[in-house]
Structure 1
């Protein structure tokens, strides 16, 4: 321990501390956070920006159930509950860190009696009351750096929770669309089976009249059996997807789905903002940035730990043979001690801690870069898919129209003996294939629009749910969090 009044020692220790700290390489955090060159506009073309509001589902979409489902997920999902608990833990940790800058104290009350076994009576007794206070002067700002780091960690955890809520809302909507698409595929396969049975009836009548060959009967029977098998398989898909949704929203996985469901329609994508807004809106990017700042404060704290520390402590004590003695002010004994401590030999522990925090800062910067690049990739991919899927839907709509008409003509011509069974079968296969493909594209467009909304940072949670459901009514959720 070095006396506070020893100016020569103080100067020497301060110089050594600053020399040690200056040996560590320096990182410019601001420059590192700007290491991604942001383009002036999104690279995907033909996206027209004319409004500040990102449309979601068409206002005429009947999706009243979706609000209830998403809200239930936000209330019951276990993963979201875990994220909320992480925030509570982070807030408590911040309070602990901030407490290190405050005065700490304790109070101890003691009593003792002693004697010998022969007499069985006590020789003497003693009562004591001791109190102590301690405080560390934050000369170099090390404790302030610790508090700033804890604050940034809380902000990062809060952003994690915001992103978890937004992601959960998106995933819940997508899993609901999974169920709807599977239900609609069942309806298509049922319609297809009905048409095949009509064709089979036509083939049977022609066969009974001796016009059709037995191969015609075998071919149509094969197609009917295959259609029944595909229908059973699709019904199993509905059950599995419904159970996935039920687990997501915290319900028992019964697998029971409403058979009268249809996919909602989509409004035209009006606005996607500009790339620089992405860095300000996405909670996961903000969380990564806050963790960089927290790591930088931790590094500052580790470097400042190389400097001398000043601790001031005081204590009081009173004791006596009677309990009234510890309330007598005349018996009070007090002391105040100030210590300035400079570690000299610590096995390079503090210098190694500086290296550890430098590595942690560099890692957090790399994670930030990765998060930003992934966000840009997700957005560009979703924007590209928005255009290509819309074009596929236009072409497939035409294909389905032509395929339905071709089937009607083929049935008529087969009944007149103008085409063979293979031509009829191929036309029917093309029709169901086109119908299923069109349904899948509409479904994929909904999934992609949800991904795009999430990639662009979305809106606040209430607006986000309303956009998904096409309503403007306020949603009450997350009251428990």
Structure 2
């Protein structure tokens, strides 16, 4: 029975407040009812961001990751450009990095914070209802004491006639969208960095294998020359040259081993692992997909999350200016209360003990030391900064694309030249081996040609990795595959 009375008490308070609203002339536009519908606002956010993908669920393997796995409305991540490389090992490593990378979890935390700030901004659009209760005891020293029980409910609501609260909510929504896009671009960047580090590690393994093959060849050559010197058919000069080449090859092998361990640790850090240089990868580089055609449309840059995030921050800055300007206008707030007080707890909600009160307050700022005007100036400066940041981000995006396209052309030509050099050096070595066996040339000539073959192998391994890296850079610059569907 008491809970039923309490429910009626709360309903009466809400009706009282709404009736007070009806008696006050307001300059309220037709969009206010939509602004109060938080579910419609959330749907608008989701529609503007596209297909929702529960990416945070992948962050549940760490303590912080378990918190982020509770977030469900994250942006989708398109990794078709990685799939086109046809490397399942790489895709597995990228997924691991998206689960465990600490930097990416930091971006996820920013999204979580922005979602809470949006809820906080929306709360001001809804009447605040509170319930109070209390008991007091008093009396004189020579008489019996008495107790007074009270129970009440209060409602307060600021009428958003100038759109200050609504503009603040829209700014919070814009900031949330921007941070979600920041998170998406961080996901792209992490995927690209993992791919770069992965292919750098494969190249380091290849360079190590080449260095080891050089040592194997020179070790055998050193054995042959040593036997020749011992039998009086060789000379000490040739032996010294072989020993020099062998010592240099051993130094190069140690350097290659160090580079391999460094590349392994770099990849392990991206994956969120302890950098102990124990990660195993593939031993050969895949073929890069075909080069992009000339004349790519600039509209492709509309897909870049960092460009879209900068645009959302401009929208947030405009809404924050609106909120700051509205704060300089009069504010109207409504309040009301209803409750009962009685010496007996059982009679506290009797009609004879119920009191109610309703009030409307008007606050017009007169003298504030220039505070509100300064807030408008602050928001105006922030708007100018957001516009400048957008221009800088757009220029960076264009530069990234132009650089990646230039690299694509240059690396393709370099790869052709280095492949020709490698094939030619290998043919020359095959001829030199025959000439050496026939006694037409000396060992020094063969060693020089061998060094050219090894150098060509090292250079070609590097250019193959560079070709894959520029493919990654171009797709990151374009925000996805160049032949994916353009945004509307």
- With the shorter chain as reference, the TM-score category is 0.7 to 0.9
* Partner Cα distance (1:123, 1:275) in 2: 86
| TM-score normalized by the length of structure 1 | 0.79
Q: Where does 1:314-463 land on structure 2 (aligned, <5 Å)?
A: 314-414=336-436, 418-420=440-442, 422-458=444-480
Distance 1:271 1:153, change over 3 A: farther
Gaps of at least 5 residues in structure 1 are 1-9, 11-52, 464-481
- Counting matched residue pairs gives 408
Aligned counterparts of 1:140 and 1:333: Cα–Cα separation in 2: 33
Higher RCO structure (Cα 8 Å, ≥6 apart):
1
Cα displacement (A) at 1:73:
1.4
What is aligned with 2:89?
Answer: 65
Specify the SS of the correspondent of 1:126.
strand
Deviates more, 1:69-78 or 1:342-351: 69-78
Per-residue deviation, 1:220: 0.7
SS at match of 1:267: coil
- In the TM superposition, what is the alpha-carbon distance from 1:429 to its structure 2 partner? 2.4
Residue 437 of structure 1: how far off its partner (Å): 0.8
Q: Say which is worse superposed, 311-320 or 289-298, in terms of deviation.
A: 311-320
Of 97, 110, 113, the match for 2:134: 110
Deviation at 1:458, TM superposition (A): 1.0
> How far does residue 229 in structure 1 lie from its aligned partner after superposition?
2.1
Deviations 1:216-258 (A, max 9, x none): 1111111112212211221222222122212221233332244
Displacement of 1:409: 3.4
Write the deviation string for residues 426-460 of structure 1: whole angstroms up to 9, x where unpaired: 32322211111111011011111111111100169
- 192, 208, 218: which one aligns with 2:214: 192
Q: Root-mean-square deviation (CA), in Å? A: 2.7
- Is the contact between residue 58 and residue 264 of structure 1 (CA under 8 Å) also seen in structure 2? no
Q: Give the 3-state SS of the residue equivalent to 1:67 in structure 2.
A: helix
SS at match of 1:179: helix
Counterpart CA distance in 2 for 1:105 and 1:213 is: 102
1:83 aligns with 2:102: no
- 8 Å Cα contact 2:126/2:157 also seen in 1: yes
Q: TM-score, normalised by structure 2?
A: 0.78
Greater mean alpha carbon deviation, residues 77-86 or residues 392-401: 77-86
Q: Distance in 2 between matches of 1:229 and 1:364?
A: 53
Map residues 243-262 of structure 1 onto 2, 5 A cutoff. Answer: 243-258=265-280, 261-262=283-284
CA distance in 2, matches of 1:354, 1:55: 45
Unaligned 5+ segments in structure 2 are 1-25, 27-77
1:478 corresponds to:
none
Moved more, 196-205 or 213-222: 196-205
- Equivalent position of 2:18 in the other structure: none
Structure 1 residues 288 and 225, CA, compared in 2 at 3 Å: closer, same or farther? same
Match of 1:180 among 178, 202, 212: 202
Structure 1 counterpart SS, 2:145: strand
1:167 maps to what in 2?
Answer: 189
What is the correspondence of 1:222-241 to structure 2 with a 5 Å cutoff? Answer: 222-241=244-263
Report runs of 4+ in structure 1 exceeding 6 Å deviation.
none
Distance 1:274 1:331 in 2: 78
SS in 1 for 2:424: helix
State whether residues 181 and 305 of structure 2, in contact with CA within 8 Å, keep that contact through their aligned partners in structure 1: yes
Partners of 1:272 and 1:129 in 2: CA distance = 76
Task: State the Cα distance separating 1:417 from its structure 2 match.
Answer: 5.3
Measure the CA separation in 2 of the matches of 1:138 and 1:459: 46
